A and B are shown apart, each in its own frame.
Chain A
Amino acid sequence: MSACTPKSLASSGQKPIQEMCHPLGAEEAVLTPSPDVRNITSSIGEKDQILPNGTPVETSSPSSSSSLLNRLQLDDDLDGETRDLFVTVDDPKKHVSTMETYITYRVVTKTTRVEFDLPEYTVRRRYQDFDWLRTKLEDSQPTHLIPPLPEKFVMKGVVDRFSEEFVETRRKALDKFLKRVADHPVLSFNEHLNSFLSAKDLNKRQGLALLSKMGESVKYVTGGYKLRGRPVEFSAMGDYLDMFTQKLGTIDRIAQRIIKEQSEYLAELKEYGPVYTTWAASEAELQGPLEGVASCMANCSIALDELTQDMSGDFLPVLREYVLYIESMKAVLKKRDNVQAEYEAKLEAAALRKEERPTVPTDVEKCQDRVECFNADLKSDWDQWQNNKTQDFRQLLTGMADHNIQYYEKVTAGDYWLMLSYVHLIQVVVQGAKGSVSY
């Protein structure tokens, strides 16, 4: 299969560097980047990303050297030093109007790209606008994996939509989304992204006119064709996503169960502490220790409540985002299957008529191009997705561990205070202050 020729920057599937042979491999010795190269499109992660551990991507042959050179010049520098588009989402603010109340976020863009008129932009956007952007990206770049957004709907009464914690969690997710889009070699050049970042008012109705040619052609492929031979790697992707989604579902259920058990534990704790306080009222010498235990329990209750809130607010939403994300990825895989099926059908039809026309008809060639571009786009995005996923889950699970550690630390602090007060009491008793009260 020949590599697809880039028609325009926005629509071609450029292979990022990591798709080539390993930098230290023999064949590419002349043109390989420096051995300490990091993964491109290094987005939000504070951590350094590492190359996939010796897992060679079993894909098609590397592209020819000349186009590789082109891409090295056109791509963002792998170290991010000459990255030319920086975006940030911050400063959430509440807006109250007669019709509704909502939050807007400030989106700041700094860029040297010629596609933008100005080097800097500051706009305010609300969740709806991000949602619009993502939909537009999905429609216009159907061969790519679009990063996920935080959950759209929030169950009222369970989480407070305007609480600081919720807004901050959402802001972080929106920031991550935008950074990933901005670091994507193809998506970052999308015109809708440009509007989103720069326009004073988003005219959300401008849609169809900006569909790329590729987008259009893919969009109208019907699912009427049967797929014959799906390449192994895409089957593997599909299988992986199915199994992974299942595991995520299990983890979600476990997390919810834990939250439920903790809430019930909390309810009992809230009854437990006060009994010590009541008892303290009947005692003299024991009053101190009893009230101490009561206050420990109270302290524990507060810490436990915070833990439950943190897990509900931080942990569960991210899991659910990923489930939705995976659904959208499976949709993209399905589309790819359809494109390939169409190509196969047309090829077969042409083969039957081979005697009439010796050369391959152009529409079959176009189909072939489409398939190859789609495959290439998907493969490059897949690897990036794997990296992002590792990072996201490392962060998520580390966060879970941190929340639990903090809970135990808070409880310990309360207990230590109690111990110290006991020591004081014992000293008083030893000094002979006993027998001063009736009971």
Chain B
Amino acid sequence: MVEEGSTLLRRMEISVAEAEKRTGKNTVNMQEIFTVYLIETRPIDAITEGHNPAPDSLWRRYSEFEILRNYLLVTYPFIVVPPLPEKRAEFVWHKLSADNMDPDFVERRRVGLENFLLRVASHSVLSNDKILYHFLTEEHRWKEVVCETGFQAKADSRIKALSATFRVKNPDKRFTEMKHYSDELQSLTSQLLRVRARVADRLYGVYKVHGNYGRVFSEWSALEKEMGDGLQSAGHHMDAYAASVDDMLEEEEHYADQLKEYLFYAEALRAVCRKHELTQYELETASSDLISKKQQREELATGMVRTFSFKGMTNKLFGQETPEQREAKLSLLEEQIVQGEETVTEKTVECEEYVKGAWVDMQRFKEQKDRDLREALIGYAVMQISMCKKGIQVWTNAKECFHKM
């Protein structure tokens, strides 16, 4: 189960406090504007002792967070690594800006980055990482240090991973099921987010059109003697109704962000399953290599050809090789077999450890997901209720005005 060890978060308070715009030169030496985020940290024991120290802080931009995450992915492939908030605004509905510089987007991203750091820093394995600590506490040389770990070279190629998926013979069934689940989770959350955006768009339209009542009631009230006051007040309520949708939908974006996090988490989950398939495949490949080498040794030693081989054919056609050649081949094979056995042992251990570690983390992830999403869904229902209450309030007020006409 999850170790209740001393994760980083227990020792340190972390927050992403602010966002600012900076200008600078990018990789192709062109001027660009980008946003930096202020990371603040404070040691917890200092706080509990009653001091109130100023936090240490440094600025980081989104691309640095990306590097950190890639490093974690490569270094801890058996962990479902928390995702970053989206790079570009997706699933926007018309009122929402797709612009990365839009202040609402920047603010939601700030929250997402903080969430990422908190999740990583509270993870029993990830939180002990030195690179993470460096990222949080020291601005200088972080990029150089992380590159020196050589993590980029260790990254598995996509092609390798994909071919493993197709060729692996005996993956752990639980991982295969988990991979299917991750595919479904990804597709469902993605669909949900798309439809939700359309629903938000339509709801926006309904509310805003009511604003027109405000205007026409006001114009109409100018024509009337008795009804005038009632109409005018009712018109104000209609205006308030139309305006209320902006806040409601802004709140709903928070729910959408929670769903998005798990959309991206699904990908991380799938990556863990794929890595298992890769290690399993490597083990299977090493094993079958070993078997075939042993077979070759047997053939050479006994002169019997068990199975059809090209060598056997050419031997028959062109004559056998000399005893010296055979000896050389045999000893080479022996070496290779020894090496192969070592490799198989290594790979077997690697695979077993991977399965163990990954399974533990996937369970942790499952519980976290159930907790978080249940909370998100409840929050969503609460939002709906609050929206209805506001609606009842406004229309009740309007009704009173109509009564008084």
Contacts and interface: CB of A to CB of B under 8 A. Distances in A.
A401 B399 contact: yes
Contacts of A251: 213, 216, 220
B374 interface: yes
A282 B181 contact: yes
Contacts, number: 147
Contacts of B188: 275, 278-279, 282
Q: Give the secondary structure class of A's interface.
A: helix
B205 interface: yes
B226 interface: yes
Interface string A398-423: 10011011011101100110110010
B109 to A, nearest CB: 26
Given A272-B196, A402-B399, A254 B378 contact: no
Nearest to B211: A254
A268 B192 contact: no
A439 B181 contact: yes
B384 interface: yes
A275 B209 contact: no
A162 interface: no
Contact-residue size bin, chain B (C-beta under 8 Å from the other chain): 35 or more
Contact-residue size bin, chain A (C-beta under 8 Å from the other chain): 35 or more
Interface in B368-405: 370, 373-374, 377-378, 380-382, 384-385, 388-389, 391-392, 395-396, 398-399, 402-403, 405
B219 interface: yes
A63 interface: no
Nearest to B208: A261
A271 B223 CA distance: 44
B227 A390 contact: yes
Q: Give the secondary structure class of B's interface.
A: helix
Interface stretch (A64-72, A175-183, A283-291, A358-366): A283-291
B163 interface: no
Most B-side CB within 10 Å, residue of A251, A261, A390: A261
A247 B205 contact: no
Nearest to A304: B206
A348 interface: no
B29 to A, nearest CB: 46
A394 interface: yes
A415 B384 contact: yes
Interface in A371-406: 390, 393-394, 397-398, 401-402, 404-405
Contacts of B378: 289, 419, 422
B391 A408 contact: yes
Given A401-B399, A415-B388, A282 B226 contact: no
Given A290-B377, A394-B405, A425-B374, A53 B225 contact: yes
A293 B206 contact: no
A262 interface: yes
B185 interface: yes
Contacts of B181: 282, 439
Contacts of A160: none
A264 B202 contact: yes
A243 interface: yes
B377 A289 contact: yes
Interface in A62-107: none
B395 A404 contact: yes
B212 interface: yes
Contacts of B402: 394, 397-398, 401
A415 B379 CA distance: 11
A250 B234 CA distance: 16
Given A411-B388, A415-B381, A250 B395 contact: no
A411 B398 CA distance: 20
B88 interface: no
A299 B203 CA distance: 16
B251 to A, nearest CB: 15
Contacts of B192: 272, 275-276, 279
Nearest to B377: A289
Contacts of B177: 438
Interface in A48-65: 52-53, 55
Contact of B392 (A258, A290, A409): A409
Interface string B180-208: 01001100110110011011011101100
A412 B205 CA distance: 21
Nearest to B230: A394
A257 interface: yes
A412 B225 contact: no
Given A286-B370, A290-B377, A250 B216 contact: yes
A419 B196 contact: no
Interface string B46-74: 00000000000000000000000000000
A367 B388 CA distance: 63
Interface in A245-265: 247, 250-251, 254, 257-258, 261-262, 264-265
Interface in B230-255: 230, 234
B16 to A, nearest CB: 29
Contacts of A416: 385
A265 B381 contact: no
Nearest to B380: A293
A412 B385 contact: yes
Nearest to A396: B402
A424 interface: no
23 contacts: A53-B226, A55-B225, A250-B212, A251-B220, A261-B202, A271-B198, A272-B196, A278-B188, A282-B181, A289-B373, A290-B377, A292-B377, A393-B227, A397-B234, A397-B402, A398-B402, A401-B398, A405-B395, A408-B392, A412-B388, A412-B389, A438-B177, A439-B181
Interface of B: 177, 181, 184-185, 188-189, 191-192, 195-196, 198-199, 201-203, 205-206, 209-210, 212-213, 216, 219-220, 223, 225-227, 230, 234, 366-367, 370, 373-374, 377-378, 380-382, 384-385, 388-389, 391-392, 395-396, 398-399, 402-403, 405
Given A264-B205, A289-B377, A296-B384, 15 more contacts: A52-B226, A250-B212, A258-B206, A265-B206, A275-B195, A279-B192, A286-B373, A290-B377, A293-B380, A390-B405, A393-B227, A404-B391, A412-B389, A415-B381, A426-B374
Top 9 A-B pairs, shortest CB-CB distance: A401-B399, A265-B202, A408-B391, A397-B402, A289-B377, A412-B388, A285-B370, A408-B388, A261-B205
